Every structure is written in C-alpha cells, then in structure tokens.
Amino acid sequence: MLEIRNLHASVEGNEILKGINLTVKAGEVHAIMGPNGSGKSTLAQVLAGHDAYEITAGSVRFLDQDLLELPAEERARLGLFLAFQYPVEIPGISNAYFLQAALNEIRKSHNLPELDAMDFRELLNDKMELVAIDPRFAERPVNEGFSGGEKKRNEILQLAVLEPRLAILDETDSGLDIDALRIVSDGVNKLRSPERATILVTHYNRLLNYIVPDVIHVLVNGAIVRSGGKELALELEEKGYDFIREELVAP
C-alpha cells in the first residue's frame, strides 16, 4: 500500500529526514516511536503533502501512485489521512459543515454522489455516537476552544467519517483520557481490514496494549534505525533511546 524508499526531506536547508525506508502493506498496523525532534511528525506531514518541506531524494508510492507528485488534497482523496499532532482551530466553520464538504470532495473524486445535508447528518450522528462525541460538537467551529483531548477525539471523528485507506495518527493518544484512548483504539481496530492500514506515531506503550502493531519502528535523527515486534517497545521502555544511539555509534 505504502512504499517509502530512501526519503530525504529538509526544511529551510536543514535536512530532517535522512533516508527513510518503510513498507506498509494493506491490513497492517505499524507503530513509529522515537525521541522528540527525531522527525516523526515531519515524516507524517511530508506524506500528507505539506509544502514547507523540500524532498531532496527518494520516492513514495501509495496505492500504485507516485505520492510525491500529488498535491495534498489529491492524496487525501486517494485515501490518505493524517490525524495531526496539533490540530488547528478554524473559527467560523462548524464541524458538520467542514466534514460534509470534505467527505463530498472525496466522494466526488471517486464518482460517488454527494451527500445532502440530511443524509450527511445521519451519517455524522452515527459516527459521533461511535466515537462518543457529544452531538453538540457538530455545530461548534472546528476545534475552536476544544480541550487538547477533545481536539484529538475530533481527529478520530474525522477519521471515522472519511474512512481512509491509510491513516497516520500522529500522537493521537497523547492527552487522551482512558476512555478516549479505548475509543480511539477500538476505532483503529475496527478499521483494521484487509484493504486498510494504519501508522501510529506514539511515545507510549499504553496505546500498543490496545492496538497491537504488526511492526514497531524506531526513528532516530531522521532515519529508521530499528524495526521489530512488540518486544522492541518493551525494550525501549526499559532502556530508553540511549541504548539504540549507543549501538549506532558502536562500530
């Protein structure tokens, strides 16, 4: 589904991604861990198509297309979804209005009929119930004045409505209470299907107890330095990232 080869990206002349290689197959869940500032969010933003980053080398294929050739909105229409580490606030535009517009843009690109306000509202109500969000949030401006956890939940609501093929969750678990964490995990587990995949960026094993990933990757200084199963997360928790850094400098 997703194949990243030797991806290099820089911002304002500073190289941040230094040769990422990562293959995610349909049906899989991958976790990416790594110290602060190692480039996890940069990778996520580059995949979503943020134009602040310059791609200096490498390639990314997504669903048999050259992802890096596509503008951000076409990546989203193709089925790529990024749950932002820091979702932005959009004053003046209600959650419902925003999501209806988004869903219809995506549907249009697949030659599906647009949903009218009534049909959309029905769908939205179902999804809000699914992710346990107060129905009143439908009328509130997107993320405006939401608490940190509410913003994360709202990202999950969007995920549930847009039903992407590949979901990248950038620290969606940070700041979530126990109930919300379970809801997010349930949501991701429900999306687990042979034609979907998920990349979880996280700092915490806690999440990985709910969503058991197929592979865990460790990103340090712009490159994936280790990949492994669940035991890698336990090892990291025990020893911190230093042991990997030490291994790296060791001959």
Ligand X SMILES: Nc1ncnc2c1ncn2[C@@H]1O[C@H](COP(=O)(O)OP(=O)(O)OP(=O)(O)O)[C@@H](O)[C@H]1O
Residues that bind another protein in the complex, under the rule CB under 8 A? 48-52, 71-73, 75-77, 81-82, 84, 87-88, 90-93, 97-99, 101-106, 109, 141, 158, 162
State the DSSP H helix or E strand holding residue 216, giving kind and residue range, or none if neither. strand 215-220
Is the separation of the CB atoms in 158 and 99 below 8 Å? yes
Which of Mg ion, ligand X, another protein, none binds 11 (CB below 5-8 Å, type-dependent)? ligand X
**# chain residues binding ligand X, by CB under 6 A:** 13
Which of Mg ion, another protein, ligand X, none binds 39 (CB below 5-8 Å, type-dependent)? ligand X
Which residue of 41, 154, 158, 172 would you call a contact of Mg ion, by CB under 5 A? 41
Which residue of 13, 36, 110, 136 would you call a contact of ligand X, by CB under 6 A? 36
Report the Cα 131 to chain-centroid distance in Å: 17
Beta carbons within 8 Å of 83's beta carbon, 6+ residues apart: 152, 155, 156, 158, 159, 167, 168, 169, 170, 172
Which of another protein, ligand X, Mg ion, none binds 178 (CB below 5-8 Å, type-dependent)? none
Min dist CB 197 to ligand X, Å, is 20
| Dist. CA 38–CA 189, nearest whole Å | 27
Min dist CB 203 to ligand X, Å, is 7
Burial class (CB in 10 A: 0-12, 13-18, 19+), 110: exposed
List the Cα angle 203/207/209 in 5-degree steps.
125
| Dist. CA 84–CA 155, nearest whole Å | 7
Which residue of 7, 39, 131, 167 would you call a contact of ligand X, by CB under 6 A? 39
Beta carbons within 8 Å of 147's beta carbon, 6+ residues apart: none
Letters for 72-111 (x = contact with Mg ion by CB under 5 A, - = none) are -------------x--------------------------
Min dist CB 95 to Mg ion, Å, is 24
Residue 182 neighbours by CB distance under 10 Å: 13
DSSP letter (8 states) at residue 135: G
Which residue of 42, 100, 158, 185 would you call a contact of ligand X, by CB under 6 A? 42
Which residue of 37, 135, 145, 148 would you call a contact of ligand X, by CB under 6 A? 37
Footprint of Mg ion on this chain (CB under 5 A)?
40-41, 85
Residues that bind ligand X (CB under 6 A): 11-12, 16, 34, 36-42, 52, 85
